[in-house]
Amino acid sequence: MKNRKAAVGFIFITLLLDVIGLGIIIPVIPALIQELTGGSISEASRYGGWLIASYALVQFLCAPIVGALSDKYGRRPILLLSLLGFGLDYLVLAVAPTIGWLFLARIIAGVFGASFTTGAAYIADVSSAEKRAQNFGLLGAAFGLGFIIGPVTGGILGEIGPRVPFYAAALVTFLNLTYGYFILPESLHKENRREFEWSRANPLGALFALKRYPSVAGLIGALTFIYLASHAIQGTWTYFSMEKFNWSESMVGYSLGLVGIMSALVQGLLIRIIIPKIGEYNTMITGIIFNICGCLLFSMASEGWMLLCFIIPYSLGGIAGPAIQGILSNQIPDNEQGQLQGALTSMMAATGIIGPLMMTSIFAYFTAENAPIYFPGAPFVTGAVLVSICLFLILRKGSMNTTGKNPI
């Protein structure tokens, strides 16, 4: 039990440092794009959408390979390699002389963007079936805490210059790599490893291999809409707040810090209370409903303080993620956890190709000078509609046995 707790603690610290590095750069991406293109915030959002989509496309192609490699060689070497790739990505971003270099950096990050994929498989390795959902909540807590520290730090450093946060992110990532090299133990025992097969190591192959688990296939299908909707927040938050409320980089950082605080509380503490009380299925449904309400409230915010207040109900929607991962993971054998997480990452990346382009295009359309209606909150309404479709699909299937005996 002590070894399991220690291993979970190790991966929590590793992922925390990884998210801090990611969060540092978010507040300054619009400013860097504007510096390189000379365009407005509305125009910069389009480039931002394409940058996210290019990262997602490469990750979609590479994530199943990374997941399958971690099933063969173990989680530790793959996780360390992904950290090295991210560190190089931040350095390229820091010195980028043209917008083309930003795309090159995002492609590098897409190839190596496996830290959360491998981290999730790591958590599955060291968790008992009844504790997996709660321990998956630690992934959200690491994400939340990293978003308290990262964006706030990035916003402050961004006031010095738009490139300074990228050097800081590279430093944090290389420190994380050093930490993982000396501290992080291997979690996948040799008897649980399996041979690498290309049929399972491609985006479609990884998903098709899960067809023999009907509950997994059905839930992943519904999750597609949640993944698409998430880009309403991820893809346009910085542009939306700067456009509508004229926020500075530091204010954007503080707002994302609040998102991080709420995420850490919800997924680090609340999830451990609510799942034992109402179960994984009811937790999932409740979280999805909060997600819909949060998106709609964001779209209606007319003052900056309202946007900050509406972070609370939206963040409560974070209880859905760990519950869904727990349901999925409990229906997959131990030696296929890496493949499951690789398939989920591929699905996220596939929607990440479409989602950012969809949401930033909607934002740019409704904020352009010739827009028929000025409505920066349009992406949030789109997100609410997509999550509502997910809720409908899940409810139509009915409740499930989260031990994996009854398919959804």
131-158 confidence digits (pLDDT tens) = 777 777 777 777 777 778 888 888 898 8
Distance CA 94, CA 167 (A): 6
For the cut 80, the answer to whether the pLDDT of residue 126 exceeds it is no
CA distance 244 to 252: 12
Residue ranges covered by each domain of the chain: 2-183+205-397
pLDDT at 408 over 70: no
pLDDT of 147: 75
Round to whole Å and give the CA distance between 73 and 78: 8
Q: Which amino acid is at 333?
A: P
* Residue 22 structure tokens: 């990611």
The DSSP symbol for 192 reads G
Arithmetic mean of pLDDT, 222-244: 88
* Residue 361 confidence (pLDDT): 94
Residue 102 has φ and ψ, to the nearest 5°, of: -65, -40
Nearest to 323 by CA among 278, 362, 280, 356: 280
**158 close to 150: Cβ distance less than 8 angstroms:** no
Give whole-number Cα distances, 116 to 17, 44, 154, 246, 331, in Å: 12, 28, 21, 33, 20
Which pLDDT does position 210 carry in this prediction?
A: 63
Residue with tokens 């204010």: 251
Stretch 48-57: mean pLDDT, rounded? 85
Which amino acid is present at 152? Answer: V
CA–CA distance from 79 to each of 35, 98, 108, 121 (Å)?
33, 30, 15, 11
Residue 280: which residues within 8 A CB-CB, separation 6 or more? 133, 323, 326, 327, 402
pLDDT for position 401 = 47
Q: Is the pLDDT of residue 206 over 70?
A: no
pLDDT digits (tens, 9 = 90+) for 13-39: 777 777 787 778 888 888 889 888 888
DSSP 310: T
Q: What is the pLDDT, as a whole number, of residue 385?
A: 96
Distance CA 200, CA 95 (A): 37
C-alpha 319/C-alpha 136 separation (Å) is 11
CB 173 within 8 A of CB 87: yes
User: Which tokens hold the place of 309?
Assistant: 């207040």
The reported pLDDT for the residue numbered 301 is: 95
Give the mean model confidence (pLDDT) for residues 318-327: 82
Average pLDDT score, the chain = 82
Q: What is the pLDDT at residue 215?
A: 64
Q: What are phi and psi of 77, to 5 degrees?
A: -65, -35
pLDDT exceeds 70 at position 399: no
Instruction: Name the residue among 3, 202, 182 with its Cα closest to residue 76.
Output: 182
The amino acid at residue 285 is I
CATH number of 2-183+205-397: 1.20.1250.20
Write the pLDDT tens digit of every residue in 156-201.
Answer: 988 888 889 889 888 988 988 888 888 777 777 777 777 777 766 6
Token pair in block for residue 231: 């880009």
**HSE toward the beta carbon, residue 195, CA cutoff 13 A:** 3
Q: What is the pLDDT of residues 234-286, one digit of tens each?
A: 889 999 999 999 999 889 989 988 887 888 788 778 988 998 899 888 999 99
Q: Which two tokens stand for residue 141?
A: 């807590």
Cα distance between residue 92 and residue 89, in whole Å:
5
pLDDT value at residue 407: 37
Examine the pLDDT at 1 and tell me if it is beyond 60.
no
Q: For residue 263, give both structure tokens.
A: 């995420």
Higher pLDDT, 399 or 368: 368
What gap in Å lies between CA 154 and CA 314, rounded to an integer? Answer: 23
Q: What is the pLDDT of residue 57?
A: 84
Sorting pLDDT into bands at 50, 70 and 90, what band is 290? very high
Distance of CA 9 to the CA centre of its chain: 20
Distances 144 to 33, 138, 270 between C-alpha atoms, Å: 26, 9, 13
